[in-house]
Amino acid sequence: MPAYARPLVMGIINRTPDSFYDRGETFDPTDALKKVEKLITDGADIIDIGGVKAGPGDNVDEAEEIRRVIPTIQAVHERYPHTVLSVDTWRPAVAEAAVSAGARLINDTWAGFEPDLPLVAGALRAGYVCSHTGGATPRTRPHRVHYDDVVKDVIEETTALAEKALAAGAPRELVFIDPTHDFGKNTYHGLELLRRVSELVDTGYPVLMALSNKDFVAETTGRFDVEERLAGTLAATAWAAQHGVAAFRVHHVKETVDTLRMIAAIQGDAAPVHTIRGLA
């Protein structure tokens, strides 16, 4: 947990050769461990490890996903036993292996596509991230999606998953709801979810947002190069933090921590790190 009142920061480790953002930067196991060390040094509270690219791409079967993520989870757990580890998967067998290896959180970005996954989380006493995709099949892109009320739909789907996981035994403090920007949604949906984020927070469940470098940021700012999306991401992060979002899944940990510290200081929840101006 952070030393002051700010949202949690979840750093990303992609054990894939084809991530849209890092393009295989942490596919090598040694590189992955070096990146974990940097993320923790930069202030990450949670490390999220995934073995399958979210978007379309080469087929990755269950056995290959396990081969990619489990040794890394084991190694990170041994080196950093007090850091919360998360596995990014929609497959129950991968989740079970990950929790056995040291993960405490199952980040199901495909919204219970495998309906047993919330039950697995409960049985293992693991945390669970409840996502919303509008019924999308894993690794597909949205196409002409429509909701009468996207916020209402998100709340209904995520809280139903949360109740299912809790009833099965998942620890309440590690059950998050995630509106899941870009998954089964267009840019207008993403902006409305931010505009009405207080409705998500008012459910009483901690809200996790994965805003980092998403397409809705690119389309809003006109910055389509993934390397130019940081400013838009941090603006959205600051807005969401101010409105009570509990955790953020991010590529840029240090910059996110600084943004959250600044918001916390403005709100009176954190003191400045070092003050001398006008005081000496």
Domain annotation for the chain: domains and CATH numbers? 8-266 (3.20.20.20)
89-124 burial, b if ≥16 CB within 10 A, otherwise e? Answer: bbbbebbbbbbebbbbbbbbbbbbbbeebbbbbbeb
Nearest to 212 by CA among 160, 248, 263: 248
pLDDT value of residue 156: 98
- Give pTM, 2 decimals: 0.95
- Rounded to a whole number of angstroms, the distance between the first and last alpha carbons of the chain is 33
The low-confidence residues of the chain, meaning pLDDT below 50, are 1
Residue 105 · residue 128 · CB < 8 Å: yes
- SS3 label, residue 198: helix
CA 223 to chain centre: 22
pLDDT value of residue 184: 96
pLDDT in tens, 187-211: 999 999 999 999 999 999 999 999 9
Candidates 185, 196, 214, 229; catalytic one? 214
pLDDT in tens, 134-190: 999 999 999 999 999 999 999 999 999 999 999 999 999 999 999 999 999 999 999
Cα distances (angstroms) measured from residue 75 to each of 72, 99, 176, 184 = 5, 13, 25, 34
Residue 280 · residue 25 · CB < 8 Å: no
pLDDT value of residue 94: 98
Q: 50 has which bridge partners? A: 14, 88
pLDDT value of residue 18: 82
Candidates 6, 91, 164, 249; catalytic one? 249
Nearest to 236 by CA among 248, 224, 227: 248
pLDDT value of residue 1: 42
141 is catalytic: no
Q: 218 has which bridge partners? A: none
249 is catalytic: yes
